[in-house]
Amino acid sequence: MRARRKWLLPTLHFASGLAALGAATDFRPASFRLSAPQRSTEVYLSQPFHLVSQNGKSVTEQDFRTRPTAWFFGFTHCPDICPTTLADLTAVLKRLGSDGDRLNVVFVTVDPERDTPEVLTDYLSSFDPRIVGLTGERGEIEAMAKGYFVHQAKVRLPNGDYTMEHTSKVLLTGRDGKFEGTIDAQDPIEEQSEKLRRLVRQR
């Protein structure tokens, strides 16, 4: 990725950012739908962060600037959308062949209290090994989610436990951090593969 940084305007707060992306909300747990901006809208998802990978390595946004990236925010206790999405991404990476090696695929937990590096390592062992898991301090996760226009919220359950609401789509960014669209869990694998192939091969 290019060394120069392109940041969102400081005055562009979370709510207005969602409006710019044309967001539509579904308040079921683990579901928050985000639609792509119009083609004329240039949005850069470049929020700086300092998190930890599933291998215990400290990482920042700079570690993902050499390749286009597919970002997915979820949590390991998610009953449906998260394992389905990660399974789809695993299938897509296999279909992409060598193109898959030119892409970052990142799973950011929105439940860092439960999703330690050890838990992420165990969880992600069921999926493509190229998928990187990130966790960290709650404040860092919330700041990153806000900067990426991702909704995440803890929802208490009647039994005293909790689940997490979160954006259910995969966000796609180019090498410069420019927002390039989304992948929806309902998209056919062929369509998901084509979106990522175009992302990898764009100049």
Give the closest residue to 183 by CA, choosing from 199, 170, 168, 167.
170
Domain ranges of the chain: 14-201
Check: CB of residue 171 under 8 Å from CB of residue 182.
yes
More confident site: 122 or 41: 122
The fold adopted by the segment(s) 14-201 is Glutaredoxin (3.40.30)
Residue of higher predicted confidence among 77 and 6? 77
User: By C-alpha distance, which of 164, 147, 146 is closest to 155?
Assistant: 164
Q: Is the pLDDT at 190 greater than 60, yes or no? A: yes
Is 15 a residue whose pLDDT tops 60? no
Tell me the one-letter amino acid at 25: T
pLDDT of amino acid 41:
60
